[in-house]
Structure 1
């Protein structure tokens, strides 16, 4: 089973994959799809706030989109929140999150040196897909803890109920599916 996605002037056939006992998703993997990442970044640029200092994303699938947004928005720096503490990190700032696509809680980690760079800055949170909003909330929590101000939230796709949110700018909704491949209502 596949879902035909049309976004940013491009079409992709996404496999429908079971994620739990009642729900399946159209698996959108941006990694390696440079054409779609660039097209999506260009398409969402008009929806970005007028003033911001950094693009922030969570590893890993949102990285190409955040990178392209940074390039196309006057070379604004992008920052990647990691999913584990790394040995090179100085005073890491950590929170946890449960995502729709992971089975267990994950850590979200910001290097303390980067956290200091974000203090008092305006940030736009960028991701490939926003679904439950749990990752978005966790990133916002980290930004608040380090003293950054979230001035925008952008995604290529808003999945399920996230498509009804008015605080996220996105290019296309993405439905959730029943296990038989029909769209959930």
Structure 2
């Protein structure tokens, strides 16, 4: 799978059944994503790993995400770990902001327990982590209009954890921007408006390959 996330192609997207990849449109070009089986062997998702992508792909996605971010008119961009931090600096820069605020999973000795929330992800469902904000940079957040940036919105757990943590920081979360919206979702259940560059389904295995659910 070394060729994934490295460049765009001009060829049209394939239709189901899918073998090992699913193609999405980004700015009129196609990007191939590997299909990865979940622990439930008959289910799978399309995968985007931003820290393994080429600069060409990251730059194009960041540009698209920054364009979506404009409508939220945020005062500050907050990046979610780990892969949301790949996009957040470029989006903040494109919006003309002097910096961004990174959240983290790694607890520093000066962090406070009352400024953390538990979190689980679809790719590591058995590992509970905590999402932290550095108390030394609370001044960048308090009373500001905040835009949350992540790589993927799937189950919504990461964004809901971010909403819970940022509520402790006395901020107004105006929305979120992600590169990929993964699987079926109900916007009414989102903690705030979520904009995405492209969407991918979840997949079910059949005898002839992978088919989108629903």
> Normalized against structure 2, the TM-score is what?
0.77
Residue pairs, 1:1-185, within 5 angstroms = 1-21=20-40, 22-31=42-51, 32-48=53-69, 49=71, 51-87=73-109, 89-91=110-112, 93-103=115-125, 104-162=127-185, 164-165=186-187, 167-179=193-205, 180-185=209-214
**Structure showing greater Rg:** 2
RMSD: 2.0
Name the CA distance, whole Å, in 1 between partners of 2:45 and 2:104.
24
DSSP-derived class of the 1:77 partner: coil
The alignment covers a number of residue pairs equal to 183
Summarize deviations over 1:46-74 as a string: whole Å, max 9, x none. Answer: 33235322111211111121111011111
Could you tell which deviates more after superposition, 131-140 or 167-176? 167-176
Name the CA distance, whole Å, in 2 between partners of 1:61 and 1:10.
22
Name the CA distance, whole Å, in 1 between partners of 2:37 and 2:203.
9
